[in-house]
Structure 1
Amino acid sequence: MNAVIAAVGIMLILSLCRVHVVVALIVGALAGGVLGGLGLEGSLAAFNRGLGGGATVALSYALLGAFAVAIAKSGLAHALADKALALVGQQDAQGGGLLKWILITLLLAVAMASQNVLPIHIAFIPLLVPPLLYVLSKLQLDRRLIACVLTFGLITPYMFLPVGFGGIFLNEILLANVAKAGVDVTGISITEAMAIPALGMLVGLLVAVLFSYRGKRVYDLAKIEQAERIDVAYNPLSLLVAGVAIAAAFVVQLWLDSMIIGALVGFVIFSVSGVVRWKEADGLFTEGMKMMAMIGFIMIAAAGFAEVMKATGEVKTLVDGAAELVGQDKALGALLMLLVGLLVTMGIGSSFSTVPIIAAIFVPLGVQLGFSPLAIVCIVGTAGALGDAGSPASDSTLGPTAGLNVDGQHNHIWDSVVPTFLHYNLPLLVFGWAAAMLL
């Protein structure tokens, strides 16, 4: 069996059986490495080499956790809860659910803006989502729905709109690698190529919002109050400092392209202002880092997993094997290319890293099967995007979990990974295949 298929399969099965994701990633990586001919020592060496690749993001999340705890200490969470709970009371009295839709729309808009208007990616989630958990739970909103909303906003803009992170993925990675593999992409409209797959993402979102998770789900409010410090008093000065700290953190991140420095600046502003007392700073910092520790370790382990998969050379073997099975069947060819993209991205956890791996084989195969340049761009782009949602190692699922699980009531696998896999990867497969055949 191909080592990549075995490694990803083992990792997913263990995760679904509620084995911790870090353990599942390590076991899957070592099993894949051994099957790929690296041996146990070679697999461990490759895994260790890859760990550094996830360290930057993990440290960023740890510091964002500390920053988020400082925001809660300022009373901003309580202020948001007070305002929103007043609206909840009004809505209950009127028998309507307008606030629910306002919150869903707000989170969707911010998630989409984080990819282009204010390209901060997942950095907003630990800051914005935890303060809203109390209100979301009072409304009995299913957090699986919020995970689907956030994941849609994190993925769809970059795979459809060539601005912000989308400019990097679509122009610098997708079109550049397709052109490098021998297809003339001059004059190709990237939005036209990815429009039908993006429509599949929209269909998945609508199914999640209107059908799958429309019902109410009860959460323990006491756990949220403890995690989010709902009882903290606040005043105009502390709220002003919180606003300045958040703005400064975002500006510094955009300026220096560093979540680490941005979060650190925000925390320092809280400390200097006195909202967070110096004698409390160490404890709050540690508390925030512990809150995000699981996400950070998953990201580090995922980087090691990806390095082992690359070291085996079995990713190329998998792609080559799919090409050999196709023959001259366009429909089968499109489907196999999409499935291989799904498998590779599920393991690596990054669409941006998948496209260069698969384009070298899929582009010549697409030409051989008679696909148009527009269809080839669509196939490679969709194959790369597949698996970003629904991967235990993807920041598009880890990000929502980081915000929704601060009180321990949102399981990463069953509440983020499985819902996003079902609602986005399955429609992407169908719509991506249809686009390949139509373009």
Structure 2
Amino acid sequence: MAWAVVVSVLVMTILSLLRVNVIIAIIAAGLTAGLMNGQSLTGSLDLLISGMGNQASVALSYILLGAFAVAISYSGITSLLVNYLLKVLKDKRTMIVFVIAFVASLSQNVIPVHIAFIPILIPPLLKLFDQMKLDRRAVAAALTFGLKAPYVMLPVGFGLIFHETIKKAMESNGVEVNIGAISQSLLLPGAGMIVGLFIAVLISYRKRREPKMADTDFDLNEEFKQETSGSFNRKHIWTIVAILVTLFIQAVWSNLVIAALAGIVLMFIFRVVPYRKGDQVVNDGIGMMGFIAFVMLVAAGYANVLTETESVSALVENSSGYIGDNQAFIAFILLLVGLVVTMGIGSSFATVPILAALFVPICVSAGFSPMATAALIGTAGALGDAGSPASDSTLGPTSGLNADGRHNHIWDTCVPTFLHYNIPLFLFGWAAALIL
């Protein structure tokens, strides 16, 4: 059914905004999409479950990264970091948010570790954020910007993968374009995200905010308060070695599971964490990251329902019959479709091939240039990634900011990032399609 995607995404969004658990909301959306496409309830559930395996490695890597983050906190090195930042950045709340945005940007291009740094860097800083009365929504906006804007604008690291995905998808549908042209076409949409970052940090979330009460009893450091003299020691050196090895493995082999596992093993080999604490490290890692891992699994299942029932192609084909030959209106509708689809699937990279197959024929018949077509596909793929409850661009920041149970995934991450990035992305992407 043509409108199954729209209705199911609305179901997921409304339930999430009503504070229904995200996992339940995504399952409800998947079942809704299946039922609207003629599947039985059990058939819809089978499609959802069969697709969950597509993100199994990501879910496992999240849990292992959580365990690694707990092991790092046990070394006491995070306490040194927080104490240092308290001295250097005291009362410089805006500065620390922009520093976090810069570090996050490096994770996409210079050191392509994607979200791997978040559960390691952010949880130790939560106490600092609370002392500074820093609005964590600003930090969420900074992290999502760093996870998203660099790959949209720059053909390096994950950005090169994203731009090559657009190139291959367009060429497979009969339109030739080079990486340079794609990069130029996405500069303007990416500039929209820069505007969104400045609005979030300097206007929307600049005021001091009292720390929330914890929603859970989990405390990252409660079980791992290491007795240290407050000075740099041998365990800190071995901890840095383990972190560097983890980052190196992720950068070279792009495998988060092996990278996180190597870091954990090294922490035990170097005796930074005693062997008898092994079960506790893993259990606390699951406590911190397990929920995020399960969201990724269920989101993959929902994407499988949309794919197997061909809901996306039905939506675009149905919409194309009403958009006429007005380029401004066509671009608006295509971007709107991209927003809805990516909100549901939660991945820019996975959405691009689907959208390209549907967008290219429409763009060619409407007279859009290859660069304008690339701008539409790239922007439509990126739309919804920020703000989607199922996207790693929002799940990653939440995994770090909610380590102490004081950060709500929907209202403190998804809603702020949706407002500050999807709106300017839409407007700037629309302008790029009409200008190029």
TM-score > 0.5, shorter chain as reference: yes
In 2, the alpha carbon distance for the partners of 1:231 and 1:212 equals: 35
Q: Which deviations, in whole Å up to 9, do the C-alpha atoms of 1:250-298 show, x marking residues without a partner?
A: 1122333211111111111111222211111211221112211110010
Q: Which runs of 4+ in 1 moved over 6 A?
A: 221-225
Q: Which residue does 1:214 correspond to in 2?
A: 206
In 2, the alpha carbon distance for the partners of 1:164 and 1:221 equals: 39
Percent identity between the aligned chains? 48
> Residue 292 of structure 1 aligns to a residue in which SS?
helix
Name which of 254, 257, 268 aligns with 1:260.
257
In 2, the alpha carbon distance for the partners of 1:225 and 1:19 equals: 21
Amino acid at match of 2:70: V
Q: Which residue does 1:55 correspond to in 2?
A: 56
Name which of 156, 161, 172 aligns with 2:154.
161
Correspondences of 1:369-388 after superposition (within 5 Å): 369-388=366-385
Unaligned runs of 5+ in 1: 92-96
Q: Which residue does 2:194 correspond to in 1?
A: 202
Amino acid at match of 2:125: L
Correspondences of 1:7-86 after superposition (within 5 Å): 7-86=8-87
- Cα distance, 1:231 vs structure 2: 4.7
Please identify, of 213-222 and 263-272, the stretch whose mean Cα deviation from structure 2 is larger. Answer: 213-222
1:293 equivalenced with 2:287 (yes/no): no
Note closer, same or farther for the CA distance 1:224–1:197 as it changes in structure 2 (3 Å cut): farther
RMSD: 1.8
Unaligned runs of 5+ in 2: none
Amino acid at match of 1:408: G
Aligned residues: 430
In 2, the alpha carbon distance for the partners of 1:393 and 1:340 equals: 17
Amino acid at match of 1:121: H
Q: Which residue does 1:94 correspond to in 2?
A: none
Name which of 226, 231, 235 aligns with 1:232.
226
Cα pair 1:345 1:388 within 8 Å, conserved: yes
Note closer, same or farther for the CA distance 1:220–1:315 as it changes in structure 2 (3 Å cut): closer
Amino acid at match of 1:79: L
Cα pair 1:249 1:263 within 8 Å, conserved: yes
Q: Which deviations, in whole Å up to 9, do the C-alpha atoms of 1:174-222 show, x marking residues without a partner?
A: 0111122122215852221011101111111111011000001121699
- Cα distance, 1:17 vs structure 2: 0.4
Correspondences of 1:148-187 after superposition (within 5 Å): 148-171=141-164, 173-186=165-178
Correspondences of 1:265-284 after superposition (within 5 Å): 265-284=262-281
| Higher-helix-fraction structure | 1
Cα pair 1:188 1:374 within 8 Å, conserved: no
Note closer, same or farther for the CA distance 1:2–1:243 as it changes in structure 2 (3 Å cut): same
Q: Which deviations, in whole Å up to 9, do the C-alpha atoms of 1:404-428 show, x marking residues without a partner?
A: 0000000000000000000000111
Name which of 320, 326, 329 aligns with 2:326.
329
Amino acid at match of 2:11: I
Q: Which deviations, in whole Å up to 9, do the C-alpha atoms of 1:381-415 show, x marking residues without a partner?
A: 11111011000000000000000000000000000
In 1, the alpha carbon distance for the partners of 2:184 and 2:269 equals: 50
In 1, the alpha carbon distance for the partners of 2:202 and 2:99 equals: 17
In 2, the alpha carbon distance for the partners of 1:24 and 1:138 equals: 34
Amino acid at match of 1:332: F
- Cα distance, 1:103 vs structure 2: 2.0
> Residue 330 of structure 2 aligns to a residue in which SS?
helix
Q: Which residue does 2:135 correspond to in 1?
A: 142
Q: Which residue does 2:417 correspond to in 1?
A: 420
Q: Which residue does 2:100 correspond to in 1?
A: 107
Name which of 101, 113, 116 aligns with 2:109.
116
In 2, the alpha carbon distance for the partners of 1:155 and 1:27 equals: 27
In 2, the alpha carbon distance for the partners of 1:326 and 1:209 equals: 37
In 1, the alpha carbon distance for the partners of 2:311 and 2:199 equals: 36
Cα pair 1:77 1:228 within 8 Å, conserved: no
Note closer, same or farther for the CA distance 1:360–1:76 as it changes in structure 2 (3 Å cut): same
Amino acid at match of 1:392: P
Cα pair 1:81 1:135 within 8 Å, conserved: yes
> Residue 189 of structure 1 aligns to a residue in which SS?
helix
1:365 equivalenced with 2:362 (yes/no): yes
1:192 equivalenced with 2:184 (yes/no): yes
> Residue 163 of structure 1 aligns to a residue in which SS?
coil
Q: Which deviations, in whole Å up to 9, do the C-alpha atoms of 1:329-375 show, x marking residues without a partner?
A: 11110000000000000000011111111111211111111111111
What TM-score do you get using the length of structure 1 for normalisation?
0.94
> Residue 227 of structure 1 aligns to a residue in which SS?
coil
> Residue 325 of structure 1 aligns to a residue in which SS?
coil
Cα pair 1:302 1:348 within 8 Å, conserved: yes
1:344 equivalenced with 2:336 (yes/no): no
Cα pair 2:134 2:208 within 8 Å, conserved: yes
